[in-house]
Copies of this chain bind each other. A is one copy, B any other.
Amino acid sequence: MNTLAEENYLKSIYHLSVNATSVSTNQLAALLNTKASSVTDMLKKLAEKELINYTPYQGVSLTAAGEKIAVNIIRKHRLWEYFLVEKLDFKWDQVHEMAEELEHISSNELIDRLDKFMEYPKFDPHGDPIPDCNGLFKIHNLKPVSSIGINEGGVICGVRDHSKAYLQYLEKQSLTIGKKVTVAEIIEFDHSMVLHTEDNTIQISREVANNLLIAL
């Protein structure tokens, strides 16, 4: 199969491809916490294996084969996260690092059985969709809370920022997946927002609102 490093590169290219047709060397270096020269070396190797389309200086994209591998790793990552939260009672801000290791456990039969054991969950603890064993998943059409107006609202279904600090903050404010929120007020000065939930009123900054995703 592929090495751990190769898998991490493919996964990173996949994530960066969501908002672009092509991914740059520096973007990858930043995400992977490494140097541009190291990225170039690895891109040559992945191109050699026909997992990416690479023209020097022009950025990269995944081939169908590369995307398949990337989606499979993401499937594993999200299923393990679901397991850690739903079966082992971890909090949603604790599971990322463990899932980063578990996603590289090679057996597909293991992950398919884990999927079955948990009754085929469709979303991970952060609201991200879990690809099925064929790599297929639905993309929710979510909007950041910052994009809606007064008296509008919806159900929290995801986050853009997966950092521990952000997740812990949301947890403390009870702004978790499934909560219904309505915008009660928008402060003109700094665009912070006052939200109503079933049992609470909470003021959040524009930054927080920007990273909180809802379904209308």
Contacts and interface: CB of A to CB of B under 8 A. Distances in A.
Contacts of A84: 110
A89 interface: yes
A80 to B, nearest CB: 10
Interface in A124-140: none
Contacts of A105: 98, 101-102, 105
B110 A88 contact: yes
A107 B98 contact: yes
Interface residues of A, number: 16
Interface string A82-93: 001001111000
Nearest to A87: B117
A55 interface: no
A113 B98 contact: no
Contacts of A107: 97-98, 101
A204 interface: no
A188 B89 CA distance: 58
A215 interface: no
A106 interface: yes
Contact of A114 (B88, B113, B117): B88
Interface string A102-123: 1001110010011001000000
Q: Closest 9 A-B residue pairs measured CB to CB?
A: A88-B113, A101-B105, A98-B107, A98-B110, A88-B117, A87-B117, A102-B105, A88-B114, A101-B106
17 contacts: A84-B110, A87-B117, A88-B110, A88-B113, A88-B114, A88-B117, A89-B113, A90-B113, A97-B107, A98-B105, A98-B107, A98-B110, A101-B105, A101-B106, A101-B107, A102-B105, A105-B105
Given A88-B113, A98-B107, A101-B106, 7 more contacts: A88-B110, A88-B114, A89-B113, A90-B113, A97-B107, A98-B105, A105-B105
